[in-house]
Amino acid sequence: ALTSAERSAIAHTPTSNAEAYELFVRGKLAIRNSMRKQDLQLAEQLFTQAVRIEPVFPEALAWLALAQARSFGRGLASDEVRRASVENARKAIAMDPGVAVARLALISIFHTTGQAEEGLKEAAILRKLGAADAVSLAAIAEAYLRAGMSERAVAIYQQALARDPED
């Protein structure tokens, strides 16, 4: 049986380009297994290819930004990659202000550069947009956690988990 998140994902395909979508899905699978450097690099490559094929694909840009942010945060990438992450996240947000993964990438970058307050601003924007899906809630919780507000973060992580126990 499909989870509610899986049913929703099937109902909403973020691009009509099948090749770009396949690369996007493969990138998401790789980033979920990104404990290894190779998986994170693979995710970044797949998202980059998806965006090359379909330049107006905010979700792919957002996930590319997140892969880059994670690489930078783990000390695997240069400041150039950090800048690219911010640029890609901002491009995704310009296309779709509610794309939570882009804001999660910014929250991660802001944390690693000592700007947790900026991350809280991104969380506030998601809240203002009324974002209540699991990814948005996880991004908001991440901002609170990285700003040292662990109790508040845990409560929101619990809400995210209730929305999508599989993710």
Q: What is the pLDDT of residue 165?
A: 77
pLDDT digits (tens, 9 = 90+) for 17-51: 889 999 999 999 999 876 788 889 999 999 999 99
Closest listed residue to residue 59, CA positions, set 30, 39, 89: 89
Residue 58: pLDDT over 80: yes
pLDDT digits (tens, 9 = 90+) for 100-150: 999 999 999 999 999 999 999 999 999 999 888 888 999 999 999 999 999
For the chain, what percent of residues have pLDDT higher than 90? 72
pLDDT at 132: 85
Q: Are 107 and 135 in contact (CB under 8 A)?
A: no
